Amino acid sequence: MTGLLDGHLAFVTGGGSGIGQGIAEGYAREGARVIAADVNLVGAEETARHVKDAGGEAWAMKLDVTDMQGVQSMARKVEAGIGPVSILVNNAGIVRRATIDSGNAIDDWNDTVAVNITGLFNCVHSFQDQLKATKGRVINIGSIQSFVHTPNSVAYTTSKGAVKNFTIGMAAELAPFGVRVNAIGPGLIFTPLNEAGIQQQPEMLERFMRHIPMGRPGKPEDIVGPAIFLASDLSQYVTGVLIPSDGGYLTV
Ligand SMILES: NC(=O)c1ccc[n+]([C@@H]2O[C@H](COP(=O)([O-])OP(=O)(O)OC[C@H]3O[C@@H](n4cnc5c(N)ncnc54)[C@H](O)[C@@H]3O)[C@@H](O)[C@H]2O)c1
């Protein structure tokens, strides 16, 4: 059987949980070989195991996307040991919900910028030669917060707005090399990222639900289809866009 991503090697950051795990497994179903790279190696290993159990090819690697030297050496290691990466998914991200007068505001800001913005730069910078050589594709994971704010998360809103602009900037710069750069803006997706927050603040869930005309929260699988589309030749003339997948959150 042929898949939409046959012949591709995908590198998925934050591939050990939630949306990244879903994307890695979805790419493998479409024929890609996948590398799940995560600061949480146990999660990445779980992803790789799922892929292998389903008959695919996968690797798990421990990576902190904020560590430029670490990302650079991993890019070299991947190219030498497995091959050039043709799909880079910049998915690793964190959210800290607190007001700017909270005691942790400074750390929250610095950590969020480091993972959600600098992490993307570190990965594209490190894999740029491989992406050019393969005429590859980059998929950045933004958010509905690339467009709007939700309570007590100014660092996150800022960071996800930056993902949108990083996407258009890189799309323009890399298009002459045949590399396409797009993004996805998930709405509320039930993953470990927001599990605790929702349990502690059930009113947050109610607030989100009032904004979801489709009447249900999302699941990682709701992001997999757009991620396959943007990685495959189905989107061969698409670059520099951010596709929301949010049950209609941004409409109301
Ligand atoms: N879940 C949602 O509702 C939602 C909504 C919009 C956007 N997003 C975005 O989707 C992406 C994935 O989120 P998720 O919901 O699957 O969260 P998650 O917490 O389930 O998974 C995130 C993964 O990123 C990894 N990670 C965190 N910091 C890292 C670092 N420095 N280096 C490498 N890996 C790191 C974590 O270990 C984890 O495995 C994030 O960018 C998030 O901002 C999520």
Q: Is pLDDT of 130 > 90?
A: yes
- pLDDT of residue 1 exceeding 80, the answer is no
Most informative mutation of 148, 191, 242 for ligand 1 (most atoms within 8 A of CB): 191
Element (H, E) at 87: strand 87-90
The H or E element containing residue 61 is: strand 58-62
Is the confidence at residue 200, as pLDDT, over 90? no
pLDDT at 152 over 80: yes
Is there a catalytic annotation at residue 249? no
Q: What is the mean pLDDT of the chain?
A: 97
Q: pLDDT, tens digit, for every residue of 133-143?
A: 999 999 999 99
Between the CA of 94 and the centroid of ligand 1 the distance, in Å, is 5
Which secondary structure element, helix H or strand E, spans residue 119, and what is its range?
A: helix 119-134
pLDDT at 109: 98
Per-residue pLDDT, averaged over 113-132, amounts to 99
Q: Cα of 150 to ligand 1 centre, how many Å?
A: 17
Backbone φ, ψ for residue 113 (5° rounding): -65, -40
- Output the CA 230–ligand 1 centroid distance in Å: 19
Protein residues with CB under 6 Å of any ligand 1 atom: 13-14, 16-20, 38-40, 43, 63-66, 91-95, 115, 119, 141, 143, 186, 188-189, 191-194
Give 210's contacts (C-beta < 8 A, 6+ positions apart).
none
Which ligand 1 atom lies nearest to the CA of residue 90? 41
- pLDDT score, position 197: 86
C-alpha angle 62/183/244, rounded to 5°? 120
**Percent share of the chain, pLDDT over 90:** 96
* Closest CA relative to residue 165, chosen from 242, 113, 243, 87: 242
Q: What is the CA radius of gyration of the chain?
A: 17
Residue-wise pLDDT for 62-120, tens only, equals 999 999 999 999 999 999 999 999 999 999 999 999 999 999 999 999 999 999 999 99
**Could you give the CA distance from residue 31 to residue 163 in angstroms, rounded to a whole number?**
28
Which residue's alpha carbon is at the smallest distance from atom 23 of ligand 1? 14
Residue 196 confidence (pLDDT): 86
∠ CA 220-116-141, rounded to 5°: 35
Helix (H) or strand (E) holding 206: helix 202-210
Q: For 13-153, where are the alpha helices, taking DSSP H only?
A: 18-29, 41-53, 68-81, 105-113, 119-134
Task: Place 172 in a pLDDT band, splitting at 50, 70 and 90.
Answer: very high
* CATH of range 9-245; options 3.40.50.720, 2.60.120.920, 3.50.50.60, 3.30.420.40: 3.40.50.720
Kindly give the distance from the C-alpha atom of residue 2 to the centroid of ligand 1, in angstroms, as a whole number: 30
**Once rounded to an integer, what is the mean pLDDT over residues 41-57?**
98
Written as six digits, the tokens of 215 are: 């009447």
* Model confidence at 45: pLDDT above 90: yes
Q: Pull the structure tokens for residue 121.
A: 């730069």
In the chain, what are the domain boundaries? 9-245
Cα–Cα dist 247/84, whole Å = 35
- Specify the pLDDT at position 143: 98
Helix or strand run (H / E) with residue 193: helix 192-200
Query: Which residues, other chains included, contact 86 with Cβ-Cβ below 8 Å and sequence gap of 6+?
Result: 7, 8, 9, 10, 130, 131, 134, 135, 136, 137
